[in-house]
Structure formats: structure tokens, C-alpha cells
Amino acid sequence: MITGSATSLDSPGWQEQLTASIRHPKELFDYLELDETPLSEALTAHGDFQVRVPHAYLSRIRKGDPDDPLLRQILPVAEELLVVPGYSKDPLTEQQANPVPGLIHKYHGRLLLIVSPNCAINCRYCFRRHFPYQENRPARPEWQNALDYIAGDESISEVIYSGGDPLATGDNQLQWLTEEIAGIRHVKRLRVHTRLPVVIPDRITDSCLQWLTGTRLQTSMVIHSNHPNELDESVGASLLALKAAGITVLNQSVLLAGVNDDSDTLARLSERLFEFGCLPYYLHQLDKISGAAHFAVSDETARELHCQLLARLPGYLVPKLVREVPKATSKLPLI
């Protein structure tokens, strides 16, 4: 094993853990010993966007507590069924920036590859919960269209692996794709956006570290954690393994009502991330995706929370407060 690798020799592999994930509300209620009164509404919301949560993440949720901040992120609720003005199935108009299957090009100099249509966990506020993944699932031969697009635009210096979750794809495929991108001379950087090191820490294997570091590309990984309770020691070991391999590790969070909309939680999250070698990067205002309006926090509250963080933490531990706006040239700061 590579020194610092987080994978335990006696734990199930990450793919087995992914397969064993809970995928039905009744299983979730039973496992967490929840009152089943809201189960019928959960079943209806599950029909629109299915439950998916691995046991490694479940183990950090308090049993019997319907208000647990980690549970709130994954539990289908009746509020998801409401039609709310201003909320839509494509709030960032990504389908208009999808020139070839598997590729989203919104900003100058960088673009996204939808490397996998699948996630290890289905977050209820996900801005791609209605994304047409069936139209963006290129097989290896079909990736050539995306690679040709990148090669034909010399302004592109950074490729971002996204999804779904790119680390839901096997390492052999990721190594092949990374080597192909490294062969395009004007691409300098590879960025990987993923929640898997948080929800299944064993995903950071020796073979994963090998393709991440095995080319000339400068590599960064942007994880997604919203609450300090998500960051147990197993997550920490995976993040430190990434850092030890020379990978820049950053975190982006979404500001979520009932999850992290208080300065104490956000401060503890930043400090816990830094303990594990990860810098806070973005704190996003909620994207207005249908089904997620109950997570919304006002801009006034968001700005006040950010000011409290500035007063409490050193600047390098304060994430940028931003919103993504369709057709803007970048994410827009709220401060």
C-alpha cells in the first residue's frame, strides 16, 4: 500500500459498499429507528428522486433523531413535492451549455466532464437531480467527441471531472481518460469534484492515487461536506492521504436550512477540514432546483453568517460566499 492510503485491509471494498447502499425509504427508517409517520410522504418524494446512502455515511447519523443534520440531507420529505415559484428542473440552464454528450462548458478556460451519471449518495438539494444523464453517458469510444472538443479549443487549461460523482467510476476508466486529457498539450490542470471521500472514505485507494498523480497535470480535488459531523477519522485518513500524495484538497459546501445555517457549525466545519489538510473553498447559496426550496436561506442571513465567520476565523478558513447565476462568467460573490 502507498504510505498514508486510507483503505483498510479488512473492510469491504468501495464498490461493495456502493452496492450495499440503502436505496429505499423503508430501509432508511428501519435502520435509523425513525418514527414512520412521515414514511408515506417519503415514499412519494422517493419516486421523484430516489434514496441512496451508503452505510459508512449512515453510521454518522444519530438513530431516532429526525432532526439530525446529516439525515436532513438524505431523507425524502413532503416539502419536496411543493411547486415553488422561481424553482425549476434546470436552474443553471446547464442543458444549454452541453455541446456534446458528457461535456458542460459554461466558463472561459475550463469545462466539466460528466464522468459518471451516478452518485454514492443522493443529496436532496442536488442541483442535478433532474439532469438528463441518459443523454450524457458516453462509452469509451464516444468520449472521443468530448476529447476532440477539448483539443480544438486552446483556451481550455483546466478539465473538471464531475457527475453524478466521477469517483463512482472505476479507476481503470479514470486512468485512461486522464491520460487522454494529459495528451492535450494546452490542458494544464485536472480538478475532481466528488463527495465520495466523505461518504465512502475507502474510495481513496492506491490505484485512485495512482491516476490522480500519474500524469503531468496539476491535480486538485474539491470535496463536498456541509457539516462537521460528516468528517470522522476515516474521512480524515482519506483526505490526509490525498494531501500526502501532493493533491490540493478543497471543500465546497451548500448553505442549508436546518443543516448548517449557524456560524458555530460552519466554523467547526472549517476547523475540522483544516485538521485533515483541506481548505474551505466555497459556501454556496442554494441553487433553485425543484424540490429543494425548504433548504433555502435568505441572502441577508447568509451574509450575516459570513461576517460572523470573518470575525471568528483566520481568513484562510473562511470560504467564499457565492451564488451561481445562469450565463454569468463565473460564480458571483455575495459579499
The domain segmentation of the chain, as residue ranges, is 14-81, 94-333
What pLDDT does residue 53 have? Answer: 98
- How long is the chain? 335
- All three cell numbers of 212, joined, read 490522480
Amino acid at 328: A
State the 10-residue block means of pLDDT for the chain, 335 residues long. 45 94 97 96 93 98 97 96 94 88 94 94 93 76 92 98 95 97 98 98 98 98 98 98 98 98 98 98 97 97 98 98 93 93
Judge whether 197 and 223 are in contact, CB under 8 Å.
yes
Judge whether 279 and 252 are in contact, CB under 8 Å.
no
Say which CATH superfamily domain 94-333 falls into: Aldolase class I (3.20.20.70)
What pLDDT does residue 10 have? Answer: 60
Burial of 40 (0-12, 13-18, 19+ CB in 10 A): exposed
Q: d(Cα 202, Cα 320) in Å, to the nearest integer?
A: 29
Judge whether 119 and 163 are in contact, CB under 8 Å.
yes
CA distances from 240 to 12, 233, 280 (A): 21, 10, 15
Burial of 301 (0-12, 13-18, 19+ CB in 10 A): middle
**Please, which residues have CB within 8 angstroms of residue 202's CB and are 6 or more apart in sequence?**
6, 7, 8, 11, 12, 13, 14, 17, 56, 234, 238
What pLDDT does residue 229 have? Answer: 98
